[in-house]
Amino acid sequence: MKKYFIIVALINLFVGCNQSKKRTEEYNLTPSSVFTQTRLDTIKKYCSGLPENTEFAFTIIQNDSVYHFGIKKTNGIYNQIENSKSIFEIGSITKAFTGLLLVDAENQGLLNIKDLIQNFFDNKLRQSSLNDTAITILNLAHHNSGLPRETEYTMKMLRESPYDSWSGFDSIEFLKFLENEMNLSSTPGVKWEYSNIGYGLLTNIILKQSGRGFERLLQERICARYDLNYTTSDTNKIKEIEVIGLKPNGQDAPHWDSGKLLGASGVLSNSVDMTVFAKACMNDDSLFVSQAKQLFYVNDIYSVSLGWAVQYYQGETYYVANGGTPGYMATITINPNKNNAVIILSNVSCYHEKMLGMIGLNSQLMLTIE
């Protein structure tokens, strides 16, 4: 749901470890040439204090070679397991896929990223411009449209039912927002402000122009292209190999229902598919190249492309995507220049106090392979 700078995430990693360590777990983990004892010790610092049945699927891609490592906590002991094909919700990493769908739609001539969004709606949007500047499709993808993070309705649902907050955000509520509630807080194209609503609107436009639903478009235009056999937005397809999400107290968490915001946070995947996806991005895939070059500069260490955060550190450029839902947390960092990547999928809740630390864990592991 959120994107954070590497430095902030690293700070939270150590803060979270100190605050959350309530008792000493045991670890039945075997070091390897890649998942060395030093790296396992880094992982252990983060894992302390997490609930029973917590599960992680780690992937390190180093110089284009792939290494998977899975762990699960049972009876207070973290055991090494094989879970590279187990399915997790990936939350806002979904936006990286939506960014690819946007590039693909433009390549097909279905839209242009500079098109005004009002042109795609028959009814007038309540506010689609400010200071004589109208929202474009690119503004939605860059999170600089001036739209809020959530609508009043989704915020209300979040407060009242935090484990199912977007389920009621259907076509009726979406249209109500667009025509009656849509307000801009800043001039489009000027200020970065993370917006799930913006990506919901972006997805709506892509689907309208393609004449397909989100799952069909995802399968036909992305999964088929990259041979992603497990990635989906349809939970009915993956029930047998799905990891159960956890609330912070260790109880089972229900699926996150994204409603009309599927393109913001509705995708599920596993380590195998995310590895294929990461390697394609690092090997000059034409869609990713087009996706990555559309940058909005935020500050000296941070930009955004179409669905990715772009971070600059010690002369290297990292593409980062993080995703959290009430039952899961996922993060991916890639460095195309060196063909290195770290992917972490888990059933740690985005509401858990160590959520930020997981982003820091990814950053720490990434720096050890650079």
Query: How does pLDDT run across 161-208, given as a tens digit for each residue?
Result: 788 767 778 888 888 889 999 999 999 999 999 999 999 999 999 999
**pLDDT-wise least confident of 4-13, 140-149, 193-202, 312-321:** 4-13
Closest by Cα among 69, 71, 31 to 54: 71
Residue ranges matching CATH 3.40.710.10 in the chain: 6-91+232-369, 93-217
Residue 278, token pair as written in the block = 């990461």
Q: Are 304 and 296 in contact (CB under 8 A)?
A: yes
| 14 CB-near residues (< 8 Å, 6+ apart) | 45, 360
CATH number of 6-91+232-369: 3.40.710.10
Please give the pLDDT value at position 15.
Answer: 40
36 CA to centre of own chain: 27
Say what the pTM is: 0.91
The predicted structure's pLDDT at residue 18? 41
- The end-to-end CA distance of the chain, in Å, is 26
Hey, what CATH topology would domain 93-217 get? Beta-lactamase (3.40.710)
User: Does 4 score more than 90 pLDDT?
Assistant: no
The string of DSSP codes covering 295-341 is: -EEEETTEEE-SS-EEEEETTEEEEEEEEEETTEEEEEEEETTTTEE
Identify the pLDDT of residue 183: 93
Query: In whole numbers, what is the pLDDT of the chain averaged over residues?
Result: 91
**Least confident window among 67-81, 162-176, 298-312:** 162-176
> How much is the average pLDDT of 225-248?
94
Q: How far apart are CA 279 and CA 228, in angstroms?
A: 12
Lowest mean pLDDT of 16-25, 108-117, 277-286, 309-318, name the range.
16-25
